[in-house]
Structure formats: C-alpha cells, structure tokens
Structure 1
Amino acid sequence: MTSLPVVNQPPHRCGALLDHLARRLRLRSESVLTPLGLRPRHLIALTVLRDHGGSSQQDLAKILEIDGTNVVGLLNELEAENLIERRRSPADRRRHIVELTDVGAKLLARAEFALAAVEDEVFRDLDEDQRETLYTLLQQVTNTTNAEACTAAVVTPPSC
C-alpha cells in the first residue's frame, strides 16, 4: 500500500462554509417570509432602504449588485404592495428616488422578528458574544463591499 504524499494545507477558507450556512438560512428564511408575502430579495432591498435612506434606482441596483432592469421589476413588486414609493428627484427629474414607506418599515420589522427565530436555530451553538463577533465581522465585510459598489457608481448616492 502506497501512502499519499503530504501536501501543504491551504489556510482555512470561509467561502464554502458561508455558502452552506447561507443556503441553510435561505431555506428556513423562505419558510417564514412566504406567509408575509416577502421573498429574500424583497427583504434585502427593504433593509438597504431602511438602513441607507432614500436612493436612486440606479444606485440601489449597484448596491444590491443586480441589473437595472431587474431592480425595476423588484421595485414594481414592492411598490404594488405599498412597501416602497418612487418619486422624481427634485434635483434631477430624470431620476427616481426610492424610499421605504411606513407599511414597508412595519412589515420589515415583522419579518426581522420572524427571522430571529431562524437565526437562533441555525446559530444555536454560538453564545451571544460569538454571535455579536460574527455579526461585526460580517458587517465589516459588507460595509467594504457596499463602499466599493458606491465608488463604482456613476453618481455617488448620499447614503454611501
């Protein structure tokens, strides 16, 4: 029997683990969002609008890293449910500013409470301090990638 050569192990990489957890979270999250009439992409858009305030459709597409055509469809769905509103920018009538409505903010809060139970299930082996550390690290990476998306925007939105 021949033995396998010893190969240097690469440093631990988080991508595959994050992908696995993201899939687990996504499946469980969809089961609690569906009764609220929301999909994950709705939740993300509503969260960005709440956290960053009003945004142009173009800048929102860049932050969400989705095609402009797809963001229009997403916003149409949210607007039909009165979760967001689009209005002409007073500074540039060719642009629309997208804002979260009170109805959208309330539904987002309900969704976040429902999702808390999902996170409690998935992250049950982490204590409160570990969860806070994980959140802080993920937020740091998210802020960096959001800043890069804003830098790449033709017109930097004030929320960046």
Structure 2
Amino acid sequence: MTSLPVVNQPPHRCGALLDHLSRRMRLRSESVLAPLGLRPRHLIALTVLRDLGGSSQQDLAKILEMDGTNVVGLLNDLETENLIERRRSPVDRRRHVVELTDVGVKLLVRAEFALAAVEDEVLRGLSDEQRETLYELLHQATSKTEAEACTEAVTRPTC
C-alpha cells in the first residue's frame, strides 16, 4: 500500500470570506436604503458629516477619497432632498461648509436603524460576544489604513 505524501495545509486566508460577507451585507444594505432614497455613498457622506459636525467640500472630498467633481454631484443629490446645507465659510468666502439638516439627521437615524437589522440578519450565526470580537478585529485591521489616509489628507499640499 502506497501512502500519499503529507501536504501541509496553507494557513487560513479570509479574503474570500470577507468578500462574500461584504457582498451579502452590501446587497441587503442597498435593498433597505433604496426605499429611503439613499445609496451607500449618500449614507457614508451623511455619516461623515454627522461625525465631523460639518465639513468643507474639499475636506469631505479628501475624507471620502473622491474627486471634487464627484463630491459636488453627491452633495447636489443630498441638497436636493434637503439632507444637507451648503453655506459659504465665514472664514474663507471661497469655500463652502457642508452640514446636515434636521431632515438629514432624522433620515440618517432611520437608515442606521434599518442597517442594524441587516447586520443582525447577515451576522445571525455569531453571538453578541463574537460580533464584538469581529468588530474589534476589523477595526484593528483597518485602523492603520484609516490613520494613514488621515495623515495623507492633512499633509497634502492642496489641503
């Protein structure tokens, strides 16, 4: 009887699983955001504006890692729905300051509530403790990238 050579198993790689999980999360998220009139990019912009308490259009473009022209289109969408307000900066009249409106805050809360239900559905195989561990690990994995992005945004000569 010939024995097969022992082949070492490669270490577990999670890229494919993360991609599958993110696709499931994205598809379900898009389906609950659509009835609210939002797309994921709208939600991200609203969240950033809430967390920052407002922002200049240029800073928002850097944070969102979007071209300025695309940010203007995104903000036009949000302004049309009265979710944001753009005003001239009192410090520099050449710049616009972007802030959430009360309507924007209320819609963001509704969207986050709907997305929490999506997260519960997609991650239903995990306990609360496992979800917290997953969150901490994902936060740790992305924190260096986020810190580097923030540093780049601050140190670029166009800032």
| TM-superposed deviation, 1:8 | 6.6
Bigger Rg, structure 1 or 2: 2
Q: Which amino acid aligns with 2:37?
A: G
Give the structure, 1 or 2, with the largest relative contact order (CA under 8 Å, sep 6 or more).
Answer: 1
In structure 1, what residue type is equivalent to 2:105?
A
Alignment of 1:103-118 (within 5 A): 103-118=103-118
Instruction: Quickly say closer, same or farther: Cα 1:141–1:68, change in 2 above 3 A.
Output: farther
Pairing 1:24-39 to 2, within 5 Å after superposition: 24-39=24-39
Post-superposition Cα deviations, 1:68-117, rounded to whole Å, max 9, x if no partner, equal 11111101100111111111122221111111111111001001111111
* 1:4 to partner: Cα distance: 8.1
Aligned length: 155
**Alpha-carbon separation, structure 2, partners of 1:14 and 1:90:** 48
Shift of 1:145: 3.0
> Residue in 2 aligned with 1:90?
90
Q: Identity over aligned residues, as a percent?
A: 80
Report the CA distance between 1:14 and its aligned residue.
3.2
Over aligned residues, Cα RMSD in angstroms? 2.4
User: C-alpha separation between the residues in 2 aligned to 1:129 and 1:112?
Assistant: 21
What does 1:130-149 correspond to in 2, within 5 Å? 130-149=130-149
* Separation in 1, partners of 2:120, 2:65: 28
**In structure 2, distance between residues paired with 1:4 and 1:74:** 58
Q: Which deviates more from structure 2 when the two are superposed, residues 114-123 or residues 11-20?
A: 11-20
Amino acid at match of 2:75: L
